[in-house]
Every structure is written in C-alpha cells, then in structure tokens.
Chain A
Amino acid sequence: MSAARVLKNGGRAAALPVALIVLAQVAATVTQLESDSLASPADIAMAFVSVMGDGTLLKATADTLKAAAAGCLLGVGAGSLLGIVLGLFRIADDALDLTIELLRPVPVVALIPVVMMLLGFGAEMEIVIIALGMLWPSVVLARAAVKEVEPRLMEVSNVLQLGFAARVWKIVLPAILPQLFMSLKLAAGYALVVAVTVEITANPLGLGYGIMMAQQALRPAEMFAYLIWIGAVGWLISVLLNAAQRTFFPAFVNGEGR
C-alpha cells in the first residue's frame, strides 16, 4: 500500500469519530448543556486530565489489569493443563466430556455470589471468578489442539519411550504453542470484560468500580472519561496481543477463523 493510500484510509476511518465529537461539542455548547447524564467532549477531556492527574485512574487501571492478568494466567494455565490431559487420554476425555458440557454453559457472572460468599470482597475474589471464566474455553481449545498434533510425533514419542512429563514437555507443548497463545489472546480480552463486570456488580475496586462511583456521584464527565479509558485499554490490549501473535507465530495468524 502506498503512503497516500494509507493516509486516505486513515482519513476515512477517522472521519466518523471526529465528526461525532465535533457534533457533540457543538450541540453541548449551543444548548449550554447542564445534565446529570450527559457531558460535552471538552468537559470529558478535562475530567480525564483531572482523574489522570491525581492518580485515581492509574491506580484503578493497575488494580483491574492485575486481577485480569492473574485470573487469566491461572484460568488459562489450569484449563490448558486439563485440556492437554484430556487430549492425550481418550478414556479421560470420554469420561469427563458430558460433565464439562454441562458445566460449561453456566454463565460466569452466576458464580459472583458464590465466590463472594466464600472469599468476601477484594482482588482474590475477582481473580478466582476471572480464572473460572477462562477455564472451560481453555480446556476446549487445548484439547482440540492436542488432538490435532501430527500423529507421527506421537509415534516418535512412543518409539523413544518418553514418560508422560517428557512427552508433554518435549513433543506436545512445542506442537501446540501457537494454539495456546491464541487461547491466551482470546482469554486476555475476555478477562478484562469479566474483571470490569465483577467490579461493576460487586467488587469495590478497579475501573468498573470507578465508573460506577462516577455515575452515582452524578459526575457524567468523569463517567464518560472512565468509559473511554476502559475502551482504550481494551483496544490497546487487543492491538498488542495481535502484534505479538504476528511476530512470534506469523504462520498461524490466518488460522484464527477456524
């Protein structure tokens, strides 16, 4: 693509958001907006600078991201391990398949009250819920990946008489690494969603709690500043993970749509 073309595409992409922001600002100025639910773009920008300046936004972001990252790693780790075992041993897979299919559709938010009762509020409870939410998708992806490992590699491991640990470590893991990364990538975006949901619903910390408080204090500018920031964080995570995937597993990027 030529530079002029990139510029043209970028210009077209930016046209709509820019037009909307300008329109909102003009409308707010003309009507001299005073509202408990709306705010002009300029006010939102000012509110953003103020929550960014006093550190509340950064601390909330750190809380949310820490919980999301911990829950994501825990859930994807445990789920992938179980998925690998199920992929390797058909008998375990057959025995557990029905149970997993019955547990999988339970919406993760339904577990909020359970975990809340067991652990109370705080980062721990949030991490456990996120991990539980990531568990089943990771099991399913890892199991499918192991079943697709080239059968000859498995024959090689039989010939070499590798033990279970050696077989997983030397043959299976390297073969399914791209799929595991994809699983982690999908989970990372989802973990942020679950984290914010848990914070909005119950847990008094992080970005979700921040946006909820801004709404309840009737500070719409701050609420929208949080909203835009949450969107920006989510977008940035997906961009970074996509870039990482392209760098480390270039051959696998197109396999995503399966």
Chain B
Amino acid sequence: MKAVPLRKLVLGIGGLAAFILLWKLVTDAKLVSPVFFPGPERTYVALVKGLSGGPLLSQTFETVKRMLLGWLLASFVGILFGALVGVSKRARAFIAPTLELLRPLPASAMIPVAIAFLGFSDNMVLVVIAFGALWPMLLATVHGFAAMEPRLYEVSEVLGLNRAQVIWKLALPSAMPMILASLRLGLTISLILAVVGEMLASREGLGQSILAASRSFRSADLFAGIVILGAIGLFGSRLLSVAERHLLRWQASSR
C-alpha cells in the first residue's frame, strides 16, 4: 500500500474544514431554520453527550449487532446455497433463472410479508436483513462457480476429487474475488435494512432513535445519529476492503 501523498492529505483536510465551515456559515446565517438543521457544534455536542452516558452508545451497539447477525446469516446461507447450486451445471440450469428473476425485487418490499408472519419483532428485522443481504452473495457465488476455468473441473476429475473437495479446493478460491466484493455490498445492504427495520418495527437502535428525534424536532440528536451511521458504514467497508486485499494477496502474485 502506498502512503497518501502529503499534497492530497493537506488538500483533503482543507476541503473537509471548508465543508464544515460552510455548514456552520449556512446554519449561523439561519438560511434553514435551526429547528430543522443544526450547526456542526450542536451536532458535536449532541454526539458527545449521547455517547458518554446518553442512549446513543447502546443504540449503536444494538444496530451494529443486528446488522452483523443478519449479515452473517446471509453470508452463510448465501455462500452455502450458492455453492450447492453453482457446482452443478444441471442445478444452475434449473435454479439460476429463478434467482435472477427474484434479484431485482426490492428487499424492503419483503418487510410487509415478514411483518405478516413474524409481527413487529426483532426476528422480523433479522429475517429482512438476512433476506436482503442474501442476494448479492448468493448470485456472486453462483456466477463465480460458473465462471471457473473449465479445465479446473477436468483437473478435479483426473484427481478423483469428490464434490465437497471440488467446492472447497477449487471453486471457492476461484470465486473468492466475486464473493468478497459481494460481502461488502451485503454489509451495506444490512446496515440500510437494519435502520429501516428499526424505524418500522420500533426496535431499539439508531433507526428508531433518529426517527423519534425527527418527530420531536431534536435535530441535533438526529444529526448525531446520522454521523454514527455514516461512521459504521465507513468502518465496515474499510475493514472488509483490508480483509479483501489480505485474502487476495495470492492473486496479485500468481498473475
């Protein structure tokens, strides 16, 4: 990894400072009513207060827990089912078209269905997150397996590998770049659906917290919640990028 050049760093921090200054100027000049739009200081104060002793910390914890549980569930089911479908040409011919058909369905459209079955519960939110985050991983695994070098399948026959060995030793590593990219996308979707689920089902978490803040016109608390949500998204995707680079080291050297 190359170090960030100094010029870029200085300009970047300057740009961020300018952005915050602009934000402050807009709110100080009261271009938008301060009831709706808090300045950076008020947001910062609300953030610090909420995180030190306030409810924000436990809400953040709840949302992150929900997001991670749903994401793990989706990854597990998606990659497993994707591998089972992807490894057999026949299963692909029968099942893949139905999966492609279902893919453009907005995951949030499943929320009413999930409510009908599970009510306004934590499990409902979890199922919605898992269902929504499932698709990218499932399809990436199926496509990754389908795109495997055909000679590798011939190699596996020559070596007399059974199906589980083909999946574990050949297909999964070769589909890994696609799967890892889909894991990152899945995490983004998980965060979005965690927030939506909390808003709709009033389960504890940042989604419910920012909706309540907006209804009672506590705009500083609302913005503090959004800042944390942004930080969760940023941190999650950065972490997975690092993991991606680490896990795909072999690829750069073998090509």
Please report A residues at the B interface, Cβ cutoff 8 Å: 9, 12-17, 36-37, 91, 94-99, 101-114, 116-118, 189, 192-193, 196-197, 200-202, 207-208, 211-212, 214-215, 220, 223-224, 226-227, 230-231, 234-235, 237-238
Contacts and interface: CB of A to CB of B under 8 A. Distances in A.
Given A113-B210, A208-B109, A227-B110, A107 B191 contact: yes
11 contacts: A13-B98, A16-B94, A17-B101, A105-B188, A112-B199, A113-B214, A200-B108, A201-B196, A208-B109, A212-B111, A226-B109
B250 interface: no
A96 B11 CA distance: 8
Given A105-B188, A234-B105, 14 more contacts: A9-B93, A16-B94, A94-B12, A98-B12, A105-B233, A110-B210, A110-B229, A114-B214, A114-B219, A117-B214, A117-B217, A208-B108, A227-B112, A230-B105
Interface of B: 7-8, 11-16, 18-19, 32, 36-37, 93-95, 97-98, 101-102, 104-113, 115-117, 188, 191-192, 195-196, 199-200, 206-207, 210-211, 213-215, 217, 219, 222-223, 225-226, 229-234, 236-237
A214 B8 contact: no
Main secondary structure of the interface of B (DSSP, over half): helix
The 6 closest A-B pairs by CB, nearest first: A105-B233, A113-B214, A98-B12, A13-B97, A234-B104, A95-B15
Contacts of A214: 112
A223 B108 contact: no
Contacts of B231: 105
B108 A197 contact: yes
Contacts of B32: 118
Nearest to A238: B104
A14 B236 CA distance: 39
Contact of B229 (A99, A107, A193, A224): A107
